[in-house]
Amino acid sequence: MLAYYGLATQQWECTKLRCGETRLVEGRCHCSDDCLGAGDCCTNFKHVCQGETEWVADDCVDLASPKCPAKYVLAYKGMHKIEKNKNPVFPSITFPNHYTIATGMYSESHGLVDNKMYDPVFNASFSLSNDEKSNPRWYFGQPIWHTASYQGLRAGTYFWPGSDERVFTLLKWLQLPDNERPDFFTLYLEEPDKSGHSFGPVSGGLIEALTGVDKVIGQLMNGLKQLNLHQCLNIIIVADHGMEDTSCDRKEVLQDLLQVENVRDLYVYEGPFGRIRSNDKNQPCECKTKHVENCKKNGQKVKPYLKNHLPKRFHYANSRRIEDVSVIVSPGWLFERYPGSLTFCAGGAHGYDNDDASMHAMFLSYGPKFHYKTEIEPFSNIELYNLMCDVLGISPSQNNGSHGSMNHLLRTPWHTPIHPAEQTTPGQCPLVILEPTDTLDCTCTSLVVPLAYIEYTKHYEHLPNIELHPLLPSEQPQFLRASTLIMGIDGKCKCITSHFKQSVEQKHMLFGRPIMQQPSNDYCLLYHQGFVNAYSKKSLMPVWNSYTLDKPVRVISSKVTPDCQRADVRIPADKSPRCDQYASARNITHGFLYPPNLYKTAEEEYDGLLMSNVVPMYPEFKKIWDYFHTTLLKKYASQYNGINVVTGPAFDYNYDGQFDSQDQIEQFVTGTQIPIPTHYFAVLTSCKDSQPVSSCNNELQTVSFLIPHKADNSENCNNGDTASLWVEDHLWFHQSRVRDVEWLTGLDFYQGSTRPIPELLKVKTRPTAAIHRRP
CB 683 within 8 A of CB 643: no
- Residues 6+ positions from 735 with CB-CB distance below 8 Å: 311, 313, 355, 703, 704, 705, 768, 771
Dihedral pair phi/psi, residue 713, rounded to 5°: -115, 30
CB 521 within 8 A of CB 751: no
Q: Which residues, in sequence order, are bridge partners of residue 82?
A: 365, 374
Distance CA 143, CA 132 (A): 18
- Write the burial class of residue 146 (CB in 10 Å: 0-12 exposed, 13-18 middle, 19+ buried): middle
Closest CA to 12 of 171, 231, 187, 239: 171
Closest CA to 745 of 506, 534, 587, 553: 534
Sign of torsion, CA 162 164 165 167? positive
Closest CA to 449 of 425, 469, 426, 428: 469
CB 708 within 8 A of CB 309: yes
410: helix, coil or strand?
strand
Q: Is 10 left (phi over 0), alpha (psi -120 to 50) or beta?
A: alpha
Distance CA 194, CA 465 (A): 83
- CB burial of 222-253 (b: ≥16 within 10 Å; e: otherwise) equals bbbbbbebbbbbbbbebbbbbbbbbeeebbbb
Q: Which residues are catalytic?
A: 94
Query: DSSP labels for 322-367?
Result: S-SEEEEE-TT-EEESSTT-----SEEE--S-TTSGGG-B-EEEES
Dihedral pair phi/psi, residue 545, rounded to 5°: -135, 160
